[in-house]
């Protein structure tokens, strides 16, 4: 006799309906995205994160360094079609070379990155990459995937009965290494490609994005295997960038 779990079936139907209704085509990426996270919520969260970062970190919003990233960032924002909002800029005193762009309209760069890049072309490569994540809705897409994965794992535990604990344990590993991380690596490569488009459109040299990643690679003391990383290896992204730039005939 086959036992039917009606609550589980109902949850399955709800998840399937959400998946169908949440598919949206992203023209910049040329693919559909699964988006169940409200963009308004992402903006509220990123506004709160920016305010907290300014409050708790060693940050400055004025001065020559901020003017530099504002000049670079404003050109990239314009060519990316995101100049319909007010953008804020800040430099964070941190030795780690890093930058971030929030969907609510904030760009942060560390002093470590400003000390590493050799020119504004390379700075534009980093900021362009981060802006590309916003255009691509990667944060919302990632949050949507995590939410759907959590629902699926809960469903698996309910259907499995006594095996629920095992499903939860192994399902978590499968979701981490087989589903979520590959999406993240894909997102990074997509942002590299879009970022190069913005760099070119704003008047900088796309080839400097390759030079930048070589510099970043030299700074790393070591690396974890790509299959267990949320980012592609430096060699992978450098090769992908070189191929894409060459295919466009850029220098």
Phi/psi at 119 (nearest 5 deg)? -165, 175
C-alpha–C-alpha distance, residues 164 and 202, integer Å: 53
Strand ranges for 86-134 from DSSP E:
88-92, 99-102, 106-110
Q: What angle do CA 210, 29, 204 make, to 5 degrees?
A: 35
- In 3D space, the residue among 236, 144, 119, 248 whose CA is nearest the CA of residue 188 turns out to be 236
Say how far residue 204 (Cα) sits from the centre of its chain: 22
Question: Which one of 27, 130, 188, 190 is the catalytic residue?
Answer: 130
Q: Within 10 A of 55 (CB to CB), how many other CB atoms are there?
A: 8
Contact 54, 90 (CB under 8 A): yes
- In 3D space, the residue among 40, 19, 42, 31 whose CA is nearest the CA of residue 149 turns out to be 19
Q: Count CA within 13 A, CB hemisphere, residue 114.
A: 17
Q: Is 190 a catalytic residue?
A: no
Say how far residue 42 (Cα) sits from the centre of its chain: 13
Strand ranges for 105-183 from DSSP E:
106-110
C-alpha–C-alpha distance, residues 102 and 242, integer Å: 27
Q: Which residues are catalytic?
A: 130
């Amino acid at each position: 006799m086959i036992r039917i779990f009606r609550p589980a079936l109902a949850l399955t139907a709800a998840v399937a309906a959400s998946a169908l209704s949440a598919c949206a085509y992203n023209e910049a990426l040329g693919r559909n995205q699964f988006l169940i996270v409200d963009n308004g919520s992402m903006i509220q969260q990123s506004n709160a994160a920016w305010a907290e970062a300014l409050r708790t970190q060693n940050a400055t919003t004025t001065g020559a360094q901020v003017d530099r990233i504002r000049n670079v960032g404003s050109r990239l924002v314009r060519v990316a079609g995101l100049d319909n909002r007010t953008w804020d800029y800040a430099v964070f005193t941190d030795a780690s070379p890093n930058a971030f762009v929030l969907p609510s309209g904030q760009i942060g760069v560390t002093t470590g990155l400003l000390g590493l890049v050799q020119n504004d072309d390379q700075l534009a490569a980093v900021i362009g990459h981060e802006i590309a994540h916003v255009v691509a809705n990667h944060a919302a897409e990632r949050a949507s995937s995590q939410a759907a994965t959590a629902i699926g794992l809960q469903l698996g535990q309910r259907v499995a009965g006594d095996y629920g604990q095992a499903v939860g344990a192994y399902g978590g590993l499968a979701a981490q290494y087989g589903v979520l991380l590959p999406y993240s690596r894909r997102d990074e490569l997509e942002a590299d490609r879009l970022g190069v488009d913005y760099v070119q459109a704003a008047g900088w040299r796309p080839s400097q994005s390759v030079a930048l990643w070589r510099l970043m690679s030299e700074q790393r003391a070591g690396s974890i295997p790509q299959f267990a990383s949320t980012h592609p290896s430096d060699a992978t992204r450098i090769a992908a960038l070189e191929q894409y730039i060459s295919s466009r005939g850029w220098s």
